[in-house]
């Protein structure tokens, strides 16, 4: 049992202003694995005040000082790597291999990339006799989700530290254990008191208090589009900057000249990765009508390769959904797909055979789906793939863009020029061709209701900086 009932404020672990304890559930066995406190407005006030005081000095740190700090964080993170991965496995049910290789690894990669960017980043530009400078925006509220917990923490905290900002982090109350380990890493690395603060809580409490707070200069939020809308509304009266990485319903266009079996298996396995709990998951597979039967067989083959089970077992490739709420939502949407007449290729309702407890679901594939069905419109956030037929390339592009979201897109083709042409026409912030995968230096973010702003790499610095023009700077 992990008892994490204190908050990290002004460089120390402190008791909450009000006692309100929340259980953390291991989704693999539905047992309590930890406890945290849920913060109040008073806790937020303390944390924001600490960040505001620290900003006065930390914002003046040199680039070299910030580079040295990020370097120490990398070293401590590496020493605590196994602790980060274990916390993620316990709190969200990520299989051990996924927690180690992808989840914990992503957090380290973002810190290392921020350090790399900082070495050459231009904080000043000369325009004749005038100078344009980029300055830290101030106190940042960082609100992160449960599906890639440390990835999303690191890709916000690292650029904030690199640019000279101070911050208050509110991780998801569903998966907060890894955030505490992350705070311990920053403390051990010597982050100055008040620069980084952690207040646990839920969205309605701490999330609202942070987004409304008059002394917060930026809210960086990752989560659902519904919650992002509320945060923007809460932030509007104080005209603070709000950046959001929200939901997705990403299309995966498999063009007729692709190797259909290979492309479908790759796309399906990507969909089942992290139990489908990724905002950029390729959840809508668009297949030429003449190749649908072949695609169905390949998708069913992929589902059969998935080993669902105990995340601690190294043979497991797919763990449970994160919570009872998520389990119920996914089950209801699978039922909706059946009700609306989609063809159930494999999977379906209920737990996989042999798993009587835990929030486990079957890798599920629907076919003969039209783009107006609920399973094609709503972000399911579970291992549910829908196959949508098309007749022409233009129709495939139209279906791909017929969504409120625009986070990611995927194109599979044997003709690279054709794939490039189609990729340019997809209205999304990130498009992958033939299974290519970028790194932490590639910008990540979405069009439309998938959010605004970009994270990762040099582009991820932008939202944390204000731009000041000093006219006549070089006048003699």
| Tokens read off for 213 | 């707070």
Given the residues 91, 113, 245, 455, the one annotated as active site? 245
Annotated catalytic residue 245: yes
Question: Residues 224, 246: contact at Cβ < 8 Å?
Answer: yes
| Tokens read off for 224 | 């659902």
Annotated catalytic residue 140: no
Distance CA 406, CA 431 (A): 10
Q: Name the residue among 211, 220, 142, 168 with its Cα closest to residue 50.
A: 168
| Tokens read off for 275 | 């139990």
Tokens 């419109």, located at residue: 377
Say how many C-beta atoms besides its own lie within 10 A of residue 343's C-beta: 15
Q: Name the residue among 371, 364, 382 with its Cα closest to residue 405.
A: 371
What burial class does residue 474 get, using C-beta atoms within 10 Å of its C-beta: 0-12 exposed, 13-18 middle, 19+ buried? exposed
Distance CA 408, CA 402 (A): 13
Which 3-state string (H, E, C) describes the chain? CEEECCEEECCEEECCCCCCEEEEEECCCCEEEEEEECCCHHHHHHHHHHHHHHHHHHCCCCHHHHHHHHHHHHHHHHHCHHHHHHHHHHHHCCCHHHHHHHHHHHHHHHHHHHHHHHCCCCCEEEECCEEEEEEECCEEEEECCCCCHHHHHHHHHHHHHHHCCEEEEECCCCCCHHHHHHHHHHHHHCCCCCCEEECCCCHHHHHHHHHHCCCCCEEEEECCHHHHHHHHHHHHHHCCEEEEECCCCCEEEECCCCCHHHHHHHHHHHHHHHHHCCCCCCCEEEEEHHHHHHHHHHHHHHHHHCCECCCCCCCCCECCCCCHHHHHHHHHHHHHHHHCCCEEEECCCCCCCCCCCCCCCCCEEEECCCCCCHHHHCCCCCCEEEEEEECCHHHHHHHHHCCCCCCEEEEECCCHHHHHHHHHHCCCCEEEECCCCCCCCCCECCCHHHEECCECCHHHHHHHEEEEEECCCCCC
Given the residues 52, 279, 379, 455, the one annotated as active site? 279
Q: Which positions are annotated as active-site residues?
A: 245, 279
């Amino acid at each position: 049992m992990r008892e994490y009932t204190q908050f990290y404020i002004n460089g120390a672990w402190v008791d909450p202003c009000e006692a309100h304890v929340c259980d953390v559930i291991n989704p693999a066995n539905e047992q309590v694995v930890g406890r945290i406190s849920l913060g109040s407005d008073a806790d937020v006030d303390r944390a924001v005040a600490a960040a505001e005081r620290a900003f006065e000095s930390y914002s003046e740190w040199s680039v070299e000082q910030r580079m040295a700090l990020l370097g120490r964080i990398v070293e401590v993170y590496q020493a605590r790597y196994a602790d980060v991965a274990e916390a993620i496995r316990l709190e969200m049910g990520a299989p051990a291999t996924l927690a180690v290789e992808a989840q914990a690894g992503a957090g380290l990669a973002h810190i290392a990339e921020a350090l790399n960017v900082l070495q050459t980043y231009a904080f000043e530009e000369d325009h004749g006799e005038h100078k344009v400078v980029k300055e830290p925006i101030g106190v940042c509220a960082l609100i992160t989700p449960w599906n890639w917990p440390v990835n999303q923490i690191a890709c916000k905290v690292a650029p904030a530290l690199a640019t000279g900002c101070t911050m208050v982090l509110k991780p998801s109350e569903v998966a907060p254990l890894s955030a505490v380990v992350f705070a311990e890493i920053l403390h051990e690395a010597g982050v100055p008191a008040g620069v980084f603060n952690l207040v646990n809580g839920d969205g309605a409490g701490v999330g609202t208090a942070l987004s409304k707070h008059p002394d917060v200069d930026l809210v960086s939020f990752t989560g659902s589009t519904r919650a992002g809308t509320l945060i923007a509304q809460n932030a509007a009266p104080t005209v603070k900057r709000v950046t959001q990485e929200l939901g997705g319903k990403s299309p995966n266009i498999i063009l007729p000249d692709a190797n259909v079996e290979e492309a479908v298996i790759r796309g399906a396995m990507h969909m089942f990765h992290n139990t489908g709990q990724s905002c950029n998951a390729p959840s809508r597979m668009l297949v030429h009508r003449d190749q649908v039967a072949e695609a169905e067989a390949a998708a069913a083959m992929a589902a059969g390769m998935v080993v669902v089970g105990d995340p601690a077992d190294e043979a497991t490739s797919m763990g449970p959904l994160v919570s009872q709420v998520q389990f119920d939502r996914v089950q209801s949407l699978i039922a909706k797909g059946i009700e609306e007449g989609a063809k159930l290729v494999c999977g379906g309702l209920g737990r996989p055979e042999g798993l009587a407890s835990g929030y486990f679901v079957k890798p599920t594939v629907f076919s003969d789906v039209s783009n107006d069905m609920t399973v094609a419109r709503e972000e399911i956030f579970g291992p549910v793939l829908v196959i949508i037929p098309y007749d022409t390339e233009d129709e495939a592009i139209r279906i791909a863009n017929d969504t409120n979201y625009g986070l990611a897109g995927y194109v599979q083709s044997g003709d690279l020029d054709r794939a490039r042409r189609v990729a340019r026409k997809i209205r999304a912030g990130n498009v992958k061709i033939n299974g290519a995968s970028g790194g932490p230096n590639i910008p990540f973010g979405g069009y439309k209701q998938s959010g605004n702003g970009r994270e990762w790499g040099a582009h991820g610095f932008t939202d944390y900086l204000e731009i000041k023009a000093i006219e006549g700077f070089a006048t003699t």
